[in-house]
Amino acid sequence: MMDNIVEMLEVMDTGDGYFEYLVFYLMAPDFYLYKWTQLDHEIICHETRLNDKLKNNNQITAAVKTAAKKLNLTPEINLAPDKAEVKIVTFTAHGGFFEERFIISRSFPHALLEHTKQFLVEYNSRIIF
């Protein structure tokens, strides 16, 4: 379902355009309630959001908070002639903080060519479904 929706989007060919495409790709399933049980991740790209996340969760240990505050949260967008690379930091209560790297084709219809996920700071809420 989501692949069909994002295939219809034409990206403004700028760094901001590819970032917005990626946000839609990751967050639209929450809106459409698509596979809702799997959607636990959040994009964390500013210190204010990180501080809110850490302050509002009493279960996150001091060690995790300290490590998370050292992370570079600024999204990185690199444009090559035929593809765009977007790196972001995400958080999930069932894993912690990750750097996710996405490669998106620059020609329409845009496609997600590659997605990698690198562990940064471990956290687990210990909630079992």
Name the 3-class secondary structure at 41.
strand
Q: What are phi and psi of 49, to 5 degrees?
A: -65, -40
Identify whether 16 is part of a domain. yes
Identify whether 108 is part of a domain. yes
pLDDT of the residue at 115: 95
Name the 3-class secondary structure at 1.
coil
Instruction: Classify residue 33 by its DSSP letter.
Output: T
| pTM, rounded to two decimals | 0.83
CA distances from 87 to 30, 37, 102, 129 (A): 21, 24, 6, 30
Identify whether 83 is part of a domain. yes
pLDDT of the residue at 33: 58
As for how many domains the chain has, the answer is 1
pLDDT of the residue at 4: 61
Residues 75/86, Cβ–Cβ less than 8 Å: yes
List the chain pLDDT tens, one digit each, 129 residues.
455 666 778 899 999 999 999 888 888 766 655 555 455 778 999 999 999 888 877 788 889 899 999 999 999 999 999 999 999 999 988 888 999 999 999 999 898 999 999 999 988 665 554
Identify whether 129 is part of a domain. no
The contacts of residue 5 (CB under 8 Å, 6+ apart) are: 28, 32
Using the structure block, give the residue that is written with the tokens 């001091």.
62
- What's the domain range around 105? 2-124
Structural element, H or E, at residue 112: strand 112-124
pLDDT of the residue at 1: 45
Query: What is the rounded distance in angstroms from the CA atom of residue 100 to the CA atom of residue 26?
Result: 11
Residues 53/44, Cβ–Cβ less than 8 Å: yes
Identify whether 120 is part of a domain. yes
Residues 70/94, Cβ–Cβ less than 8 Å: no
pLDDT of the residue at 81: 96
